[in-house]
A = this chain, B = another copy of it.
């Protein structure tokens, strides 16, 4: 079973690249820490594959969060503290997994690379 993690980022916020990197890292770390330890270990031993995909807006972010949860996948949706670039409480991105690549692809395969 190949494992991966996907990070879904809102395209409509047009986040500066450094801000986007930090938000994506936040989602990635949080989903990892919430995931099954054995799964994380296997994923880490195999190169910790992950990819950043774009969602259109807040509604799409919530849609995919729900779809992933319904499929029994671990997710972490990130709300920015908003000290700098964007308004406090803005949902910026989320991560799914690490989990079975096929299972994740079943939900996110239509999304394009960020």
Contact = CB atoms under 8 A, between A and B. Distances in A.
Interface in A16-36: 17-30, 32-33
Binding site secondary structure of chain A: helix
B28 A28 contact: yes
B25 A7 contact: yes
Query: What's the number of copies of this chain in the assembled complex?
Result: 2
A2 interface: no
A72 interface: no
B22 A22 contact: no
Contact of A50 (B20, B22, B44): B22
A26 B52 contact: no
B48 A18 contact: no
A99 to B, nearest CB: 15
